[in-house]
Chain A
């Protein structure tokens, strides 16, 4: 049986960067607006409607979430190779009590994590919302991406939980998980991306890894977005590839904002080494 590798992360933690790397590696070329190999996403509304043959517009958020494990079952039944899927949902149970991402269909998950202080800054730009509101949202156990609010979104509602709970949920999931820190990807891209390719059992030579890393260097992605646009950029955001650095929060967040984030997520930040122990 074939199954899924979930490319999982809280939003704004390097997920797109990693998927573009995988695209460059698997496709041998990179058009950031037409991903052929690594464009899969676990919460595309049109895929849900097509494969379950029901308009999701007639369903409530809970009904949609309850049906998503069946969607993955149908996809796995017909897959001829392992499926890569981006996921921003926390690893959680549906309202009906079943794992949203069925372990029996899961080959593994690459979980990307990034310093929540940088996530807050990036998320605020992405959603064009103020940082304090984002910090509150990152600490809201009821947080959902793209819920059924004002208008229907191209993606299905995705439950995030708090930032700390999100990380915890994937690390505790009963599946093989490779934890990768965004900061480590930046510091040692060839080694870290190479480990991910190994985990995903992609047969790639060191030269191919190095070439794919080169293809998704931040400056290059920013230039591609500047000249062609980027389909994953939210309409109101000025650009998607903004800074691509670690520690940018230090010149952006106020002391009060830093203290709030560190208080909300103290345990997980310590565990991941984002703040010192003690």
Chain B
């Protein structure tokens, strides 16, 4: 009897409760990732990359540090140590385990994490990428309301070897206005971080952990001035350049994986799935959200019917 969990298809054993993840129901095989609460042994050698919240060593070991939250040590793509700050709510720790730490685990394991939400439309994966605030989770939720299950929120992990997307975990992050627009209840939900307005919304319905082929990538482009309209398919050079900018924890990834390895993965993804820019008018009312989602759905279906 164990309480192992599944994240991106990995068997995860955690001494810190992670209620966002589903229980491991796969074969009895060795644990892929262990997450423990422990004191973090920071190396005495100098890191190769120093950012305000992150430090990275030559061998790919990674430390994330946030005052009032805690410290997170990620090594070898298989071990995470968490040292919580005094009084940090457990949910605050999980925001970083299921965000930055997940992104770094992907890099350490040679995967391509794209800053994207992903949904399943007719048995294929569709990625919705974009910068913070572009509306990835919002569009994924609107597609959810049209019956398309969530695969990942914010970090979409692609395995360049198999060419498949590895579904992450069944949770969305949504603001109250989007919840209202989609008639989703928000009683009893926790916020993403204390002081933030985004809620964590479970999305267990139809969530499947099985790897799935990506069929299209949409990159949201929010602008106050047009042209607006249908998604625009990009040439392969432009697709690769844009996907490269959408790599999650890109600077850290460049050090862990090398720029060439990541660019090869980007090239592979752009070969497997056409890349579109998806123009969105800044300040567009949420009443237009369903039409916007329908446009994406129809683009994917047209693409599939043309084989």
A residues near B (Cβ < 8 Å) are: 33, 45-46, 49-61, 63, 66-67, 70-71, 74, 96, 148-154, 228-236
Are B96 and A58 in contact, CB atoms less than 8 angstroms apart?
yes
CA gap between A148 and B100 in the complex, in Å: 20
Tell me how far the C-beta of B287 lies from the nearest C-beta in chain A, rounded to whole angstroms: 14
CA gap between A229 and B95 in the complex, in Å: 39
Are B225 and A70 in contact, CB atoms less than 8 angstroms apart?
no
6 A-B pairs with least C-beta separation: A235-B283, A152-B133, A53-B251, A229-B225, A70-B52, A57-B132
Which of B52, B173, B248: most chain A CB closer than 10 A?
B52
CA gap between A11 and B205 in the complex, in Å: 46
Are A148 and B192 in contact, CB atoms less than 8 angstroms apart?
no
Are B283 and A52 in contact, CB atoms less than 8 angstroms apart?
no
Looking at the complex, which one of B95, B132, B252 makes contact with A49 (CB distance below 8 Å)? B132
Q: A61-B195, A150-B197, A235-B282 are in contact. Are A52 and B132 (CB under 8 A)?
A: no
Looking at chain A's contact residues, the main secondary structure is: loop
- A residues within 8 A CB of B148? none
0 or 1 for each of B102-144: is its CB under 8 Å from A? (1 = yes): 0000000000000100000000000000011100000000000
CA gap between A70 and B53 in the complex, in Å: 10
Q: A58-B99, A151-B177, A233-B224 are in contact. Are A53 and B133 (CB under 8 A)?
A: no
CA gap between A150 and B197 in the complex, in Å: 7
- A residues within 8 A CB of B229? none
CA gap between A67 and B54 in the complex, in Å: 12
Interface residues in B212-259 by Cβ distance below 8 A to A read: 222-226, 245, 248-252
CA gap between A53 and B198 in the complex, in Å: 21
Is B298 an interface residue when CB atoms closer than 8 A count as contact?
no
0 or 1 for each of B183-202: is its CB under 8 Å from A? (1 = yes): 00000000011111110000
CA gap between A52 and B225 in the complex, in Å: 28
Looking at the complex, which one of B51, B132, B198, B226 makes contact with A56 (CB distance below 8 Å)? B132
Q: A231-B225, A235-B283 are in contact. Are A52 and B52 (CB under 8 A)?
A: yes
CA gap between A67 and B284 in the complex, in Å: 31
- B residues within 8 A CB of A66? 52, 67
- A residues within 8 A CB of B66? 63
Is B175 an interface residue when CB atoms closer than 8 A count as contact?
yes
Is B17 an interface residue when CB atoms closer than 8 A count as contact?
no
- B residues within 8 A CB of A150? 175-177, 197
Sampled A-B contacts (30; CB under 8 Å): A33-B225, A45-B132, A45-B133, A50-B245, A52-B51, A53-B249, A54-B51, A54-B100, A55-B132, A55-B154, A57-B132, A57-B133, A58-B99, A58-B100, A59-B193, A60-B193, A61-B195, A63-B66, A67-B53, A71-B52, A148-B195, A148-B197, A150-B176, A152-B132, A152-B175, A154-B133, A230-B225, A232-B224, A234-B224, A235-B281
